[in-house]
Amino acid sequence: MAFPVPDHSATALAELVSLDGRVAVVTGGARGIGAGIAARLAEAGAAVVVADLDGDEATALAKELGEDHARPAIGAPVDVADGAAVAALADLAVDTFARLDIWVNNAGIFPHTGPVADADAAAFERVMAVNVTGMFHGAREAARRMVAGGSIVNLSSITGLAARAGLTAYSTSKHAVIGLTRNLAKDLAPRGIRVNAVAPGLIVTPGLLSGSAGETRSAATMAERPTAPLGRHGLPDDVARVVLFLVSDLAAFVSGATIVIDGGDTA
């Protein structure tokens, strides 16, 4: 039987998961989930552009990745809500590495806006600008430069599947990310670009514990919160491994999907 696309059924697993020769951009990549994703992509062989609002942290992580995995990596500052800045980031990736294959829209903010009757409209708009429009900017600029096809992964959340009180702005934005992902998958399929999303549950990151994610949680508080059916909270690498699957040839026929990563919490 002739296949209209390459048949991977005889391809070795090591080759399917390999990202050798590919170039990836990870936004919000300097810490937490983004840093975990950048590390796994570099380990799999990709040249990685670590992009973050904190350019110094992004550059420091890129240097570390280059040393750990013997793969080229650079850091760059970016505010994903700024379309021109995202375009410049995409140009930097292509100018530096001569191609672009993978774009991970990880950057996002997580404010507790409180009950909707008391919520601030400006705060709501900022969340949408970063968490939704920022992903639109990333997908658009990546698609314009993925001349040989590619893969885009958007970070949603389990709050994009089920609402949570006090998180109207954040939950709305993450619902929108899932809708954006589905539409992008349809729109970009003729270009050979796959678009998927992941929806993490509670993932323990330094930002979550320090309060920079919008909420301070001590280790004791985390221990008291009911855990997922698997008996623990998630870690950044739990998300990173799924992202690696989605951008690799293991997922060559997966597009428009949202994969929940919550240890069965929403099952």
List the structure tokens of 189: 């399929």
Question: Catalytic site residue 170?
Answer: yes
Pairing state of beta strands 73-77 and 47-52?
parallel
Choose, from 170, 213, 236, 265, the residue flagged as catalytic: 170
The SS3 of residue 43 is helix
Euclidean distance between CA atoms 219 and 228, whole angstroms:
16
Distances from the Cα of 196 to the Cα of 92, 153, 154, 177, 244, angstroms: 24, 5, 6, 10, 12
Euclidean distance between CA atoms 35 and 52, whole angstroms:
10
Euclidean distance between CA atoms 200 and 222, whole angstroms:
16
CA 29 to chain centre: 9
For 128-261, strand residue ranges (E) read: 150-155, 193-200, 258-261
Q: Which residues make Cβ contacts (< 8 Å) with residue 165, sequence separation at least 6?
A: 115
User: So which residues are the catalytic ones?
Assistant: 170
